[in-house]
Structure 1
Amino acid sequence: MNPLHDRDAPLITLLRVGRVFAPEALDATDILIADGRIAALGRDLAIPDGWPVRFIHAPELTAVPAFIDQHVHVTGGGGEGGCGTRCPEIAAHEIASMGIGTVVGVLGTDSISRSPADLLAKVRGIRAEGIAAYMYTGAYRVPPPTLTGDVQRDLAWIPEVIGLGELAISDHRSSQPSHEEIARVVSDVRVGAMLADKRGICHFHLGDGKRGLEPLRRLLEDTEIPADQVIPTHVNRHRALLEEAADYALRFDASIDVTAFDEAGDDGLSGFDAVSRLLERGVPVERITMSSDCNGSLPEFDAHGAYLGMRVARNTALIADWQRLVHENVLPLESALGLVAGNVARVLGLHVHKGRLAVGFDADIALLDHDLQPQQTFVAGKCVYRTG
């Protein structure tokens, strides 16, 4: 049986594991799942005779909240070197095999051959295969491309749209938006999100340009926009930018997103190194998230901005960097889980039903082995990945 099509399973599942981290360690080994949500947690939970229950015994595995990846080029990124450099779409099994239960789809440089409509179709296709999926409207450029012709309408009327992104700043590929343009777009997102009862974040792509985070600092200094409305990503692109990001997070009590690069380059930092440095600088772990940028392009340019070549990002580095943070005792498991689950859910406004293992929350669960490698992934109580 293909786990991604596990739709004929009973409505009730009793999952019995070795340990449960919610993210804090619980005195529980049983998770009762009903109608896609967690109904109970405990030990030796009893089920009445005759109930249609599926029992899953995995005493050697640890249950944690399924991971949330807030930056995925689900339709493929790239295109900076012409049509032959468009990156491929991601498959649902590639997502689930990393313990990821929720993704947020994003457009990047190319919003011409790929559109918000393409992105929405792919997001709905991923949902049909059992993965929780959302999207940002917009792309690198301003004015942002939208589904309805208006950012506020996209947020108000399209359930899958939870914000705007990835709007590019401090990058030669951006549309070089002015302070006024950035403020207008962010305020439009804020109002549209309020009308839709969503968090409505603006997910900002940071390039390696000399302005760094200055556009966002000015936004927060000169307007009434709250810091949790804007999330800068790729802040570990180079060391000076990471130091600036640490100052930004501390000054504004803001959240920042670290990218788990496959190869960090000469001046960049891996996700592991970046999180370690931010913690050393005193940035609270609750203000740090990690994402993969997977299926996006990793282009190389010369000093004049001419295209040299590219690679395709994968989500394997996200899990590897996260595991290393725990294995090397940079963070305990319960704190590290925030980087890829609870913190992300809060940033995205999904924290009322995702990012924790608790009664009433979505039954999005990753089962990890002793090495913290995902062995099974459940989304809304359905098994979407299983090894072997």
Structure 2
Amino acid sequence: MNRHDDRPPRLLTLLRVKGIHAPEKLKVREILIADGRIAALGEDLDVPVHWPVHRVEAQDLIAVPAFIDQHVHVTGGGGEGGFGSRCPGIGAQEIAAMGIGTVVGVLGTDCISRSPADLLAAVRGLKSEGIAAYMYTGAYRVPPPTLTGDIQRDLAWIPEVIGLGEIAISDHRSSQPRQDELERLVSEARVGAMLAGKRGICHFHLGDGKRGLEPLRRLLSETEMPAEQIIPTHVNRHSALLEEAVDYALSFEACIDVTAFEIPGDGLSAFDAVAHLLEQGVPAERITLSSDCNGSLPEFDQRGNYTGMRVARNTALISDWQRLVQEHVLPLDTALGLISGNVARVLGLHHCKGRLAVGFDADITLLDETLQPRQTFVAGRRIHGGE
């Protein structure tokens, strides 16, 4: 707004849509937003005409909770092939164009030329552009790099830090941590999170090594750590690992994260993986989807030598999710949990995100009839689409 414009600012937004899935379908079509949160849901909401209201007419679109991507290389991943193989970072528009309102930033293999401080700066940059952004402290390696020199202090004193990760296991690029080292990391994250009132999950990168999920099975079998503290990702890297994930989820009532691999051959597609998990009896509420976008998709020969790389994007996350609904694997209300409500619960953000309800953050994605995101609002601010 022009600084010389003496008109009052538009402090409220009234959003009129075709329908609302909160995720359950509501019998109302209007959302009133105030101070970044949902103030009311209703039909023909009575807002005085003299109030400073911005009215958004989107009566051909349906409103759903904005998507949450818990695994994003916001500074770029890669580096396995030398300095020329470092992947680029990602911006707010590229995120919001896919209907994503919240991201969690991760470091990967390279925590030498990139650091938790770089990651925090990128996260705060996305926040300044309107995205709700968080991060994990740490990286592939053990002991993990941190901001303050201590996992507990990072969780306690840095608001954006909501967990530890991505710690690599069963991968030739990991630091081959011992079991007692993994146990210490999870306990450190748990106590630090308790002090800060956070969930403090430990986000584990799964490679294609023969140990698979065994280190995490031992964590849950041999310690007092709750399953909700430990989240394995990339569990659809290959069929045998996915079968392990089925048993892991059912045995420990645990949540697992499926990666939306973009290129055939990188692993089972998120669509195929979710369909299989459901067929094997894993409840939908224990499954989440993430993109791994702007991370590297490196290729290695049988001896572990680097042969090439591609850069992951977040488009497969949305397209595979759409297929789950369009091919009737899951109804829309349940499928939304995989990229919104379930993720919010896993991250400990379920008190304010992952649902359209009074008092929750006004993080809203508007979908067309093909379930394609057309507009994205975060804290009531339109970040993508519209006028």
TM-score (norm 1): 0.97
What one-letter code is carried by the residue in structure 1 that aligns with 2:361?
Answer: D
Q: Which residue of 1 aligns with 2:170?
A: 170
Computed over aligned residues only, the root mean square deviation of the Cα atoms, in angstroms, reads: 1.1
1:109–1:173 CA contact under 8 A, matched in 2: yes
Q: Which residue of 2 aligns with 1:4?
A: none
The one-character-per-residue Cα deviations of 1:308-350 (angstroms, maximum 9, x if unpaired) are 1010000000000000100000000000000000000000000
Aligned length: 381
Q: Secondary structure at the match of 1:117?
A: helix
The one-character-per-residue Cα deviations of 1:86-131 (angstroms, maximum 9, x if unpaired) are 0001011000000000000000000000000000000000000000
Q: CA deviation at 1:9?
A: 6.2
C-alpha distance in 2 between matches for 1:42 and 1:376: 20
Is 1:359 aligned to residue 368 of structure 2?
A: no
C-alpha distance in 2 between matches for 1:331 and 1:10: 39
Q: Secondary structure at the match of 1:93?
A: helix
Q: Which residue of 2 aligns with 1:232?
A: 232
Q: Which residue of 2 aligns with 1:124?
A: 124
What one-letter code is carried by the residue in structure 2 that aligns with 1:197?
Answer: G
C-alpha distance in 2 between matches for 1:44 and 1:67: 27
Q: CA deviation at 1:263?
A: 1.3
The one-character-per-residue Cα deviations of 1:156-189 (angstroms, maximum 9, x if unpaired) are 0000000001000000000000000000000000
What one-letter code is carried by the residue in structure 1 that aligns with 2:321?
Answer: W
C-alpha distance in 1 between matches for 2:83 and 2:382: 37
Q: Secondary structure at the match of 2:297?
A: strand
Match runs of 1:77-226 below 5 Å:
77-226=77-226
1:237–1:264 CA contact under 8 A, matched in 2: no
2:171–2:208 CA contact under 8 A, matched in 1: yes
1:21–1:63 CA contact under 8 A, matched in 2: yes
Q: CA deviation at 1:48?
A: 1.4
1:369–1:375 CA contact under 8 A, matched in 2: yes
C-alpha distance in 1 between matches for 2:172 and 2:231: 20
What one-letter code is carried by the residue in structure 1 that aligns with 2:343?
Answer: V
C-alpha distance in 1 between matches for 2:285 and 2:35: 30
Q: Secondary structure at the match of 2:135?
A: strand
Runs of at least 5 residues in structure 2 that lack an aligned partner in the other structure: 2-7
What one-letter code is carried by the residue in structure 2 that aligns with 1:296?
Answer: G
C-alpha distance in 2 between matches for 1:100 and 1:251: 32
Q: CA deviation at 1:387?
A: 5.4
2:294–2:311 CA contact under 8 A, matched in 1: yes
2:72–2:291 CA contact under 8 A, matched in 1: yes
Q: Which residue of 2 aligns with 1:292?
A: 291
The one-character-per-residue Cα deviations of 1:20-64 (angstroms, maximum 9, x if unpaired) are 000000011000000000000011111013100011011100000
Q: CA deviation at 1:11?
A: 1.5
Q: Secondary structure at the match of 1:298?
A: strand
Task: Report the CA distance shift for 1:141/1:9 in structure 2 as closer, same or farther (over 3 A).
Answer: farther
Q: Which residue of 2 aligns with 1:32?
A: 32
4+ residue runs over 2 A deviation: none
Q: Secondary structure at the match of 1:19?
A: strand
Q: Which residue of 1 aligns with 2:315?
A: 316
What one-letter code is carried by the residue in structure 2 that aligns with 1:352?
Answer: H
Runs of at least 5 residues in structure 1 that lack an aligned partner in the other structure: 2-7
The one-character-per-residue Cα deviations of 1:329-387 (angstroms, maximum 9, x if unpaired) are 00000000000000000000000000000000000000000000011000000000005
Q: Secondary structure at the match of 1:114?
A: coil
Q: Which residue of 2 aligns with 1:11?
A: 11
Match runs of 1:249-288 below 5 Å:
249-265=249-265, 268-288=267-287
Q: Secondary structure at the match of 1:303?
A: coil
What one-letter code is carried by the residue in structure 1 that aligns with 2:252?
Answer: F
C-alpha distance in 2 between matches for 1:373 and 1:63: 12
TM-score (norm 2): 0.97
Q: Which residue of 2 aligns with 1:306?
A: 305
